[in-house]
Amino acid sequence: MDPSLDSGFAPYAAKMQAAGLPRLAIDCFRFYFEQYDRGAAGFLRETEISPATGVPDVGELARHRDAGRRALGRAVVIKLNGGLGTSMGLSAAKSLLPAKAGFSFLELIVRQVLHLRREHECALPLVLMNSFRTREDSHRVLAHHPELQSGVPEDFLQHKVPRIAKSDGSPVTWPADPELEWCPPGHGDIYPALVTSGLLETLRARGIRWAFISNADNLGACLDLDVLGWIATEQIPFVMEVADRSEADKKGGHVARAADGRLVLRETAQCAPEDVAAFQDVRRHRYFNTNNLWVDLDVLARLLEERHGILGLSLIVNEKPVDPQDTTSPRVVQLETAMGAALGVFPGARALHVPRGRLVPVKTTSDLLALWSDAYDLGDDFRVVASPRRHAGDLVIDLDPAYYRAVEDLTLRFPDGAPSLLGCHRFVVRGDVRFGAGVVVEGDVTVTQEGAAPRHVAAGTVLRG
């Protein structure tokens, strides 16, 4: 008898087997399910860690650039492309959103890689980790770029796992949309998915050793020759790029050091209630994970073999409504892992301090408006960078979620594009406000709807605060 069927895990194993999921995916889910079933909350407590110190800076690595050029022939770029952007009202691949200069996120990623190939005369492969909901859309984009073909598969598929009913712990059933019975198991699934897809074996057989991995919605994350050369020269098995936390980042995860000296990643969901103050102290815990990672694939293969395919990353327990578009729908639990948690698994893993420009994330429509605006420029290498013309410090945009949560809400209220934000420090919008073309925002500005009707800001208006 299959041992996974002789336990409370039986209905989950049966559901996953019926869906054709590979044995390793089922074993991985069981590993985390049994932790959850025992009551594990996945907390990493403040008493178990100390602040991370002694983190080198990327600015010190220029001497490794030539080594990075030599290592390019043994590198691969992997982009996490499984997100739908449901928090912004999307139901298709988030990377297909318009990002800059008429290009989508995915189109800019393709151009970043093609630029590196031309500049350094190499065959750097680009590989996407898609989810079962983003694969078809992404393939249509890549089909327009046959020059990308490198002999390496263009993508591999993230696994899916059953969602757990909060009410009784059973596998979720949702006949109205059976796809909502499943969820991605977090981007920590990249490691077993590399194995079950055969991609890890394929890459290593082609002599590819180093993978640069980042989010598809982060257009500041380009393969960096200095970092690649440093890793190749010093034989570093795993590197996480980290940046300085600010007050705006205090609710996000951070890097710390475990009692045995290992670096570890603590995500928001792993913070116990009594540790919130220490967790959010950006002077104590200075660094956050950009989710730009560098992995030695030879070391990864060895660790996976030693651990029977299960790295044992920290558990993250997320609770959500079964239907993301209906917050009153039944609550479900998703068991997830973060790929950055491998920082605590790879012996000799390092963190590397990088500037904020290596991270241009788009998680909300506020982030998307900033990206669309002149606060960011598109470089010749197709990387998105903060405009050098900006003179107002960090940019904070806070759009009323009641009117701007979804992308269609944003385009409705900014039909002619983003305002000029070159001189803006803080831009807050409350209520139903609609903006004409050529609006300029300078300083700290709050725009509020007055009365029942939508407020209209006329084209060419200069808002100063």
Per-residue pLDDT tens over the stretch 69-78: 999 999 999 9
3-state secondary structure of 451: coil
pLDDT-based confidence at residue 168 (cuts at 50, 70, 90): very high
pLDDT-based confidence at residue 7 (cuts at 50, 70, 90): low
Same domain assignment for residues 349 and 403: no
Structure tokens given for 59: 């600015």
The answer to the question of residue 165 being in a domain is yes
Report whether pLDDT(293) > 80: yes
The mean per-residue pLDDT over the stretch 282-308 comes to 96
Report whether pLDDT(4) > 70: no
Domain finish residue from 326, 358, 390 = 358
Report whether pLDDT(99) > 60: yes
Residue-level pLDDT at 5: 44
Same domain assignment for residues 167 and 120: yes
The answer to the question of residue 48 being in a domain is no
The mean per-residue pLDDT over the stretch 425-453 comes to 96
Report whether pLDDT(42) > 80: no
Same domain assignment for residues 308 and 435: no
Residue-level pLDDT at 344: 93
Domain encompassing residue 444:
365-464
Residue-level pLDDT at 358: 94
The answer to the question of residue 91 being in a domain is yes
> Tens digits of per-residue pLDDT, 220-250?
999 999 999 999 999 999 999 999 998 878 8
Average pLDDT, the chain: 93
Same domain assignment for residues 301 and 431: no
CATH of residue 113 = 3.90.550.10
> Tens digits of per-residue pLDDT, 343-377?
999 999 999 999 999 999 898 999 999 999 999 99
**Percent with pLDDT over 70 in the chain:** 98
The answer to the question of residue 268 being in a domain is no
Same domain assignment for residues 156 and 223: yes
Same domain assignment for residues 436 and 323: no
Q: How many CB atoms lie within 10 A of CB 335?
A: 23
Same domain assignment for residues 346 and 381: no
pLDDT-based confidence at residue 3 (cuts at 50, 70, 90): very low
Same domain assignment for residues 373 and 315: no
The answer to the question of residue 172 being in a domain is yes
Same domain assignment for residues 213 and 152: yes
The answer to the question of residue 254 being in a domain is no
Report whether pLDDT(283) > 70: yes
Residue-level pLDDT at 1: 34
Q: How many CB atoms lie within 10 A of CB 129?
A: 26
Nearest Cα neighbor of 65 from 134, 2, 119 is 119
Report whether pLDDT(291) > 90: yes
Same domain assignment for residues 307 and 385: no
Domain finish residue from 306, 338, 358 = 358
Report whether pLDDT(180) > 60: yes
Domain finish residue from 358, 376, 393 = 358
CA distance 327 to 257: 37
Domains: count for the chain: 2
> Tens digits of per-residue pLDDT, 439-452?
999 999 999 998 89
CATH of residue 431 = 2.160.10.10
